[in-house]
Amino acid sequence: MPAGYQKIPTMTRGQSGFLQQLLSQLSGQNANIGQNPLFQQGSNYLQQLLSGSPESSAAFEAPAMRQFNEQIIPGLAERFSGMGAGAQSSSAFQQALGQAGAGLSENLQALRSGLQFGGLGHALGYSQQPISNLQGLGGLGLGSQAFGYAPKQQGFLKQLLSALAGGVGQGAGMLGTSFLGGF
């Protein structure tokens, strides 16, 4: 507590009791954010994304691989089949297919790395959310601080002496100004 100040209540006992009861009820509900299905789903998704496990990678790559197998490879084969018999087994076809596969692999890895990097911030937010919720309960805008500080009341004698000292100082200052002003 700052020197020269005293602690004073900002709420009545009834207001303080009501606020404490409200905060305890709310904290019981919000402290268990881990039970919220949306929080669980988001948390699970981020855990899988950040894990880098082979299963997680395979699940991430599956849609792109399916599109590659169902659309890109047949498209390349069709393009090379117009060049004549045996073109699909040619080294040019094999090279084009290899380049397309390498490009797909690089793009998937870059996309996954970007998602992991972005997901890291979200994961940190998810891990701190229960604590943030509880901290937020204290600042509900209900004047939840139960006390404030006010200058200490001085005794009558101290107030009188302080006022006299101020008056004497002011008078001396006026006298000095008028005395010096005459020169």
pLDDT digits (tens, 9 = 90+) for 117-171: 888 777 777 677 666 665 555 555 444 456 677 777 767 777 667 777 766 666 5
Q: Which residues contact 60 (CB under 8 A, 6 or more apart)?
A: 49, 108, 112
| Angstrom distance (rounded) from CA 147 to CA 152 | 14
Measuring CA to CA, which residue among 90, 66, 65, 67 is closest to residue 77?
90
Least confident of 46-55, 87-96, 164-173: 164-173
At residue 155, what are phi and psi to the nearest 5 degrees?
-65, 165
Please, what is the average pLDDT of the chain?
Answer: 74
Q: Which residues contact 155 (CB under 8 A, 6 or more apart)?
A: none
Q: How confident is the model over 63-68, as a mean pLDDT?
A: 92
In the predicted structure, residue 66 carries a pLDDT above the cut 90:
yes
- The percentage of residues in the chain with a pLDDT greater than 70, rounded to a whole number, is 64
Confidence (pLDDT) at 88:
63
Give me the pLDDT at residue 31, please. Answer: 53
- Quote the pLDDT of residue 146: 63
pLDDT digits (tens, 9 = 90+) for 14-31: 777 777 776 666 555 555
**pTM exceeding the 0.85 threshold for the entire prediction:** no
Predicted confidence at residue 135, as pLDDT, reads 59
> Are the beta carbons of 45 and 60 closer than 8 angstroms?
no
The sign of the torsion formed by the CA atoms of 63, 111, 48, 98 equals: positive
> Residue 72 contacts by C-beta under 8 Å, 6 or more apart in sequence?
100, 104
Instruction: Read off the DSSP letter of residue 70.
Output: I
Neighbouring-strand partners of residue 5: 151
